[in-house]
Amino acid sequence: MKFFTVKKDKSRITMVDIDKMTGLEFEKFLGVLFSKQGYQAEVTQASNDQGADLLIKRSSKLFWRKNKTVIQAKRYKNNVGNSAVQEVVAAKAHYNCKSAMVITNSKFTAAAKKLAISNKVKLWDRDKLKQEVKKNPVSFTDLKGVNMT
């Protein structure tokens, strides 16, 4: 069974490609993106994940729990609302993480932005994700062999 439904070659993944990904493909992509930035990334289980899609930490083996960040990944066509922020706040406590993020290929509602500020949740919207993809290109070849658990 082939995992990706979009083109498979050595070219860089673009926002157009991301928009065609499934939710699980998007999580896998983010794991590779963060690994290119020097993080260790772990994709959580697909169901009953308590609001966490990814756990990342800097490569240092010291202080794993103190350096963990929980990520809620939302590959949406519409704007992302409060529920994503609420879920990642709960996941932050559940997974004993230092920080929390919500990343989307879309935008956030004003209410989600406000809730994120009051809960110190970092938000990456489409523009921020595009910047990060440009700085740390990921190819379809990079995604081959990345296991989803």
What does the pLDDT read at residue 1? 31
pTM: 0.85
What does the pLDDT read at residue 5? 43
> Above 80 in pLDDT, residue 36?
yes
Bridge partners (DSSP) listed for residue 72:
102
State the Cα–Cα distance between residues 70 and 101, nearest whole angstrom: 6
> Above 70 in pLDDT, residue 134?
yes
The residue type at 29: F
What does the pLDDT read at residue 3? 41
Q: What percent of the chain has pLDDT over 70?
A: 81
> Above 80 in pLDDT, residue 147?
no
What does the pLDDT read at residue 83? 95
pLDDT tens digit sequence for 38-70 = 888 888 865 556 778 999 997 665 554 568 999
Rounded to 5 degrees, what angle do the CA atoms 53, 46, 9 make? Answer: 80
Bridge partners (DSSP) listed for residue 12:
139
Contact 105, 129 (CB under 8 A): yes
Among 2-6, 42-46, 110-114, top mean pLDDT goes to: 110-114
What's the average model confidence in pLDDT over 112-127? 98
